Amino acid sequence: MKRTQSIIGAISAVLLVMLTGCGSDSATPTSSTSAPAGGTLTVYAAASLKQTFTDIGEQFKTDNPGWKVDFTFAGSSDLVTQLTQGAKGDVFASADTKNMDKAATAGLLAGDPVNFASNTLAIVVAPGNPKQVTSFADLNKPGVTVVVCAPQVPCGSATEKVEQATKVTLNPVSEESSVTDVLNKVTTGQADAGLVYITDALGAGDKVAKVDFPEAAAAVNTYPIGVLKTAADAAAAHEFVDLVTGEAGQKILSQAGFAKP
Protein backbone atom coordinates (compact mmCIF):
# COMPACT_ATOMS: atom_id res chain seq x y z
CA MET A 1 0.00 0.00 0.00
CA LYS A 2 2.77 2.33 1.00
CA ARG A 3 4.53 1.58 -2.25
CA THR A 4 1.36 2.28 -4.17
CA GLN A 5 1.05 5.68 -2.56
CA SER A 6 4.64 6.58 -3.21
CA ILE A 7 4.22 5.61 -6.87
CA ILE A 8 1.09 7.73 -7.15
CA GLY A 9 3.00 10.53 -5.49
CA ALA A 10 5.82 10.17 -7.95
CA ILE A 11 3.45 10.16 -10.93
CA SER A 12 1.62 13.29 -9.77
CA ALA A 13 4.93 14.98 -9.07
CA VAL A 14 6.11 14.21 -12.60
CA LEU A 15 2.82 15.46 -14.04
CA LEU A 16 3.03 18.65 -12.02
CA VAL A 17 6.58 19.33 -13.14
CA MET A 18 5.54 18.71 -16.75
CA LEU A 19 2.59 21.06 -16.46
CA THR A 20 4.43 23.86 -14.74
CA GLY A 21 7.35 23.37 -17.10
CA CYS A 22 5.02 23.90 -20.03
CA GLY A 23 3.67 27.03 -18.49
CA SER A 24 6.91 28.72 -17.63
CA ASP A 25 7.38 30.36 -21.01
CA SER A 26 3.98 32.05 -20.95
CA ALA A 27 3.76 35.76 -20.54
CA THR A 28 4.50 36.79 -17.00
CA PRO A 29 5.45 40.43 -17.26
CA THR A 30 7.56 42.29 -14.78
CA SER A 31 8.07 39.94 -11.89
CA SER A 32 7.60 41.86 -8.66
CA THR A 33 11.00 40.84 -7.32
CA SER A 34 12.98 42.60 -10.04
CA ALA A 35 14.40 46.05 -9.65
CA PRO A 36 11.86 48.85 -10.16
CA ALA A 37 13.72 50.16 -13.21
CA GLY A 38 13.71 46.86 -15.05
CA GLY A 39 11.64 43.88 -16.04
CA THR A 40 10.12 42.18 -19.03
CA LEU A 41 7.73 43.85 -21.41
CA THR A 42 5.41 41.46 -23.24
CA VAL A 43 4.29 42.67 -26.65
CA TYR A 44 1.66 40.99 -28.83
CA ALA A 45 2.19 42.11 -32.40
CA ALA A 46 0.84 41.22 -35.84
CA ALA A 47 3.00 38.79 -37.79
CA SER A 48 3.78 41.43 -40.43
CA LEU A 49 5.53 43.50 -37.75
CA LYS A 50 8.05 40.80 -36.87
CA GLN A 51 11.13 42.39 -38.40
CA THR A 52 10.39 46.00 -37.49
CA PHE A 53 9.20 45.36 -33.94
CA THR A 54 12.20 43.14 -33.22
CA ASP A 55 14.40 46.08 -34.19
CA ILE A 56 12.29 48.50 -32.13
CA GLY A 57 12.56 46.06 -29.21
CA GLU A 58 16.35 46.24 -29.44
CA GLN A 59 16.11 50.02 -29.39
CA PHE A 60 13.87 49.83 -26.31
CA LYS A 61 16.44 47.67 -24.52
CA THR A 62 19.20 50.13 -25.39
CA ASP A 63 17.12 53.07 -24.15
CA ASN A 64 16.02 51.27 -20.99
CA PRO A 65 18.83 49.17 -19.52
CA GLY A 66 17.53 46.36 -17.36
CA TRP A 67 14.47 45.81 -19.53
CA LYS A 68 13.74 42.83 -21.74
CA VAL A 69 11.09 42.67 -24.46
CA ASP A 70 9.25 39.42 -25.21
CA PHE A 71 7.31 39.30 -28.48
CA THR A 72 4.46 37.08 -29.58
CA PHE A 73 4.02 37.41 -33.33
CA ALA A 74 0.91 35.89 -34.92
CA GLY A 75 -2.09 36.80 -37.05
CA SER A 76 -3.96 39.71 -35.45
CA SER A 77 -7.17 37.71 -34.97
CA ASP A 78 -5.20 34.89 -33.34
CA LEU A 79 -3.68 37.39 -30.94
CA VAL A 80 -7.07 38.84 -30.01
CA THR A 81 -8.31 35.30 -29.35
CA GLN A 82 -5.31 34.56 -27.13
CA LEU A 83 -5.79 37.81 -25.22
CA THR A 84 -9.51 37.29 -24.69
CA GLN A 85 -8.74 33.76 -23.49
CA GLY A 86 -6.60 35.18 -20.73
CA ALA A 87 -3.09 35.67 -22.12
CA LYS A 88 -1.36 38.45 -20.19
CA GLY A 89 0.65 41.13 -21.91
CA ASP A 90 1.56 44.80 -21.87
CA VAL A 91 1.14 46.02 -25.45
CA PHE A 92 -0.93 44.89 -28.44
CA ALA A 93 -0.24 45.99 -32.02
CA SER A 94 -2.74 44.89 -34.67
CA ALA A 95 -2.45 44.80 -38.45
CA ASP A 96 -5.91 46.27 -38.86
CA THR A 97 -8.38 48.41 -36.95
CA LYS A 98 -11.01 45.65 -37.03
CA ASN A 99 -9.08 43.41 -34.67
CA MET A 100 -8.10 46.33 -32.44
CA ASP A 101 -11.80 47.19 -32.20
CA LYS A 102 -12.46 43.60 -31.17
CA ALA A 103 -9.86 43.95 -28.42
CA ALA A 104 -11.46 47.22 -27.30
CA THR A 105 -14.95 45.69 -27.25
CA ALA A 106 -13.63 42.79 -25.17
CA GLY A 107 -12.37 45.34 -22.64
CA LEU A 108 -8.71 44.42 -23.08
CA LEU A 109 -7.34 47.92 -23.60
CA ALA A 110 -6.28 50.55 -21.10
CA GLY A 111 -7.02 53.78 -22.94
CA ASP A 112 -7.42 54.41 -26.65
CA PRO A 113 -5.22 52.80 -29.30
CA VAL A 114 -3.02 54.96 -31.56
CA ASN A 115 -2.50 54.41 -35.28
CA PHE A 116 1.20 54.13 -36.02
CA ALA A 117 1.62 52.86 -39.59
CA SER A 118 -0.20 51.86 -42.75
CA ASN A 119 0.37 49.33 -45.45
CA THR A 120 -0.96 48.88 -48.96
CA LEU A 121 -1.09 46.00 -51.38
CA ALA A 122 1.44 45.33 -54.11
CA ILE A 123 1.69 42.68 -56.78
CA VAL A 124 4.58 40.25 -56.47
CA VAL A 125 5.83 38.30 -59.46
CA ALA A 126 8.83 36.12 -60.22
CA PRO A 127 12.14 38.03 -60.52
CA GLY A 128 12.35 39.66 -63.96
CA ASN A 129 8.57 39.64 -64.28
CA PRO A 130 8.45 36.94 -67.02
CA LYS A 131 4.67 37.23 -67.49
CA GLN A 132 4.96 41.02 -67.86
CA VAL A 133 2.41 41.98 -65.27
CA THR A 134 2.42 45.78 -65.08
CA SER A 135 -1.05 46.63 -63.83
CA PHE A 136 -3.81 45.21 -61.67
CA ALA A 137 -5.83 44.31 -64.76
CA ASP A 138 -2.86 42.31 -66.10
CA LEU A 139 -3.51 39.77 -63.35
CA ASN A 140 -6.43 38.56 -65.47
CA LYS A 141 -4.27 37.98 -68.55
CA PRO A 142 -4.62 34.43 -69.87
CA GLY A 143 -1.86 32.14 -68.63
CA VAL A 144 -1.21 34.10 -65.45
CA THR A 145 -1.93 32.12 -62.29
CA VAL A 146 -2.80 34.43 -59.40
CA VAL A 147 -2.90 33.70 -55.67
CA VAL A 148 -4.59 36.04 -53.20
CA CYS A 149 -5.63 36.09 -49.54
CA ALA A 150 -9.09 34.79 -48.62
CA PRO A 151 -11.67 37.54 -47.93
CA GLN A 152 -11.83 36.44 -44.27
CA VAL A 153 -8.31 37.72 -43.53
CA PRO A 154 -7.23 41.40 -43.64
CA CYS A 155 -5.12 41.16 -46.81
CA GLY A 156 -8.05 39.43 -48.54
CA SER A 157 -10.56 42.10 -47.60
CA ALA A 158 -8.08 44.67 -48.92
CA THR A 159 -7.92 42.67 -52.16
CA GLU A 160 -11.72 42.77 -52.41
CA LYS A 161 -11.71 46.55 -51.99
CA VAL A 162 -9.17 46.93 -54.78
CA GLU A 163 -11.26 44.66 -57.02
CA GLN A 164 -14.26 46.89 -56.40
CA ALA A 165 -12.24 50.04 -57.07
CA THR A 166 -10.77 48.71 -60.31
CA LYS A 167 -13.90 46.81 -61.38
CA VAL A 168 -11.54 43.92 -62.16
CA THR A 169 -12.69 40.61 -60.70
CA LEU A 170 -9.78 38.25 -60.25
CA ASN A 171 -9.99 34.53 -60.82
CA PRO A 172 -7.37 33.28 -58.33
CA VAL A 173 -6.24 29.66 -58.30
CA SER A 174 -6.05 29.79 -54.54
CA GLU A 175 -7.27 31.95 -51.65
CA GLU A 176 -4.73 31.53 -48.89
CA SER A 177 -5.35 32.15 -45.22
CA SER A 178 -2.26 34.27 -44.68
CA VAL A 179 -0.19 36.72 -46.65
CA THR A 180 2.91 34.60 -46.02
CA ASP A 181 1.26 31.67 -47.81
CA VAL A 182 0.56 33.91 -50.81
CA LEU A 183 4.15 35.11 -50.90
CA ASN A 184 5.41 31.55 -50.54
CA LYS A 185 3.38 30.39 -53.55
CA VAL A 186 5.11 33.05 -55.65
CA THR A 187 8.65 32.59 -54.29
CA THR A 188 8.41 28.84 -54.94
CA GLY A 189 7.15 29.44 -58.48
CA GLN A 190 3.79 27.73 -57.91
CA ALA A 191 1.95 30.85 -58.94
CA ASP A 192 2.92 33.61 -61.38
CA ALA A 193 1.63 36.49 -59.31
CA GLY A 194 0.28 37.23 -55.87
CA LEU A 195 -1.20 40.12 -53.94
CA VAL A 196 0.67 40.90 -50.74
CA TYR A 197 1.54 43.96 -48.68
CA ILE A 198 4.35 46.22 -49.89
CA THR A 199 6.31 45.37 -46.72
CA ASP A 200 6.08 41.64 -47.49
CA ALA A 201 7.20 42.26 -51.06
CA LEU A 202 10.21 44.27 -49.83
CA GLY A 203 10.95 41.74 -47.10
CA ALA A 204 11.23 38.94 -49.66
CA GLY A 205 14.23 40.68 -51.21
CA ASP A 206 15.30 39.56 -54.67
CA LYS A 207 13.21 36.38 -54.58
CA VAL A 208 10.33 38.36 -56.06
CA ALA A 209 9.82 41.50 -58.08
CA LYS A 210 7.34 44.09 -56.83
CA VAL A 211 4.80 45.74 -59.10
CA ASP A 212 3.06 48.78 -57.62
CA PHE A 213 -0.34 49.81 -58.89
CA PRO A 214 -2.17 53.09 -58.18
CA GLU A 215 -5.49 51.44 -57.26
CA ALA A 216 -3.83 49.99 -54.14
CA ALA A 217 -4.73 53.31 -52.51
CA ALA A 218 -8.33 52.07 -52.36
CA ALA A 219 -7.41 49.71 -49.55
CA VAL A 220 -5.08 51.19 -46.98
CA ASN A 221 -4.56 49.01 -43.95
CA THR A 222 -4.01 50.96 -40.75
CA TYR A 223 -1.97 49.54 -37.87
CA PRO A 224 -3.07 50.56 -34.35
CA ILE A 225 -1.17 49.95 -31.11
CA GLY A 226 -2.51 50.07 -27.55
CA VAL A 227 -1.59 49.40 -23.94
CA LEU A 228 -3.31 46.39 -22.40
CA LYS A 229 -5.20 46.41 -19.11
CA THR A 230 -3.07 43.50 -17.91
CA ALA A 231 0.10 45.63 -18.22
CA ALA A 232 2.15 45.17 -15.06
CA ASP A 233 4.03 48.42 -15.58
CA ALA A 234 1.83 50.83 -17.49
CA ALA A 235 4.56 53.47 -17.66
CA ALA A 236 6.93 51.09 -19.43
CA ALA A 237 4.17 49.97 -21.78
CA HIS A 238 3.40 53.58 -22.70
CA GLU A 239 7.08 54.19 -23.24
CA PHE A 240 7.17 51.35 -25.77
CA VAL A 241 4.14 52.78 -27.58
CA ASP A 242 5.84 56.21 -27.63
CA LEU A 243 8.95 54.63 -29.11
CA VAL A 244 6.88 53.06 -31.92
CA THR A 245 5.03 56.28 -32.71
CA GLY A 246 8.12 58.43 -32.18
CA GLU A 247 10.90 59.32 -34.57
CA ALA A 248 13.11 56.26 -34.00
CA GLY A 249 10.26 53.79 -34.43
CA GLN A 250 8.82 55.55 -37.45
CA LYS A 251 12.22 55.48 -39.14
CA ILE A 252 12.53 51.72 -38.70
CA LEU A 253 8.96 51.25 -39.97
CA SER A 254 9.38 53.43 -43.04
CA GLN A 255 12.61 51.65 -43.97
CA ALA A 256 10.61 48.41 -44.11
CA GLY A 257 8.08 50.01 -46.45
CA PHE A 258 5.36 51.04 -44.00
CA ALA A 259 3.69 54.38 -44.70
CA LYS A 260 2.45 56.93 -42.19
CA PRO A 261 -0.99 56.06 -40.80
Partner 1 sequence: MTRSAGLPRWLYLPAAAGAIFVVLPLVAVAVKVDWSQFWTLITSRSSVTALELSLRTAAISTAMCIVLGVPMALVLARNDSRWVRWTRPLILLPLVLPPVVGGIALLYAFGRLGLLGRYLDAAGIQIAFTTTAVVLAQTFVSLPFLVIAIEGAARTAGADYDVVAATLGARPTTVWWRVSLPLLAPGLASGAVLAFARSLGEFGATLTFAGSREGVTRTLPLEIYLQRESDADAAVALSLLLVVVAAVVVIGVGSRALKPGGAGGW
Of 88-96, 112-120, 171-179, 222-230, the segment contacting partner 1 by CB under 8 A is 171-179
Q: With the C-alpha atoms ordered 209, 136, 212, 172, is the resulting torsion angle positive or negative?
A: negative
Of 114-122, 182-190, 222-230, 232-240, the segment contacting partner 1 by CB under 8 A is 182-190
Nearer to partner 1, 135 or 174 (CB): 174
For every residue of 69-121, DSSP letters joined together read: EEEEEE-HHHHHHHHHTT---SEEE-SSHHHHHHHHHTT-BSS--EEEEEE-E
Of 59-67, 161-169, 173-181, 222-230, the segment contacting partner 1 by CB under 8 A is 173-181
Of 7-15, 32-40, 217-225, 243-251, the segment contacting partner 1 by CB under 8 A is 7-15
- According to the binding rule CB under 8 A, does residue 118 interact with partner 1? no
- According to the binding rule CB under 8 A, does residue 160 interact with partner 1? no
* Cα dihedral value 199, 202, 207, 211, nearest 10: 90
φ, ψ at 66 (rounded to 5°): 95, -10
Of 49-57, 128-136, 186-194, 237-245, the segment contacting partner 1 by CB under 8 A is 186-194
Which amino acid is it at 185?
K
How many angstroms from the chain centroid is the CA of residue 209?
22
CA distance 160 to 6: 63
Nearer to partner 1, 123 or 149 (CB): 149
CA distance 253 to 246: 11
Nearer to partner 1, 181 or 233 (CB): 181
Cβ at position 226, least distance to partner 1 in Å: 21
192 DSSP assignment? S
For every residue of 155-175, DSSP letters joined together read: HHHHHHHHHHHHT-----SEE
Q: How far is CA 224 from CA 104, 119, 162, 180, 227, in A?
A: 11, 12, 22, 21, 11
Nearer to partner 1, 81 or 135 (CB): 81
- According to the binding rule CB under 8 A, does residue 176 interact with partner 1? yes
- Of these, 40, 77, 120, 221, which contacts partner 1 (CB under 8 A)? 77
- Of these, 108, 122, 125, 150, which contacts partner 1 (CB under 8 A)? 150
- According to the binding rule CB under 8 A, does residue 75 interact with partner 1? yes
- Of these, 119, 183, 185, 225, which contacts partner 1 (CB under 8 A)? 185
Per-residue contact flags (x/-) with partner 1 for residues 120 to 149, judged by CB under 8 A: -------------------------x-x--
Burial class (CB in 10 A: 0-12, 13-18, 19+), 185: buried
Contact positions toward partner 1, by CB under 8 A?
4, 7-8, 11, 15, 75, 77, 81, 145, 147, 150, 152-153, 172-177, 181, 184-185, 188-191
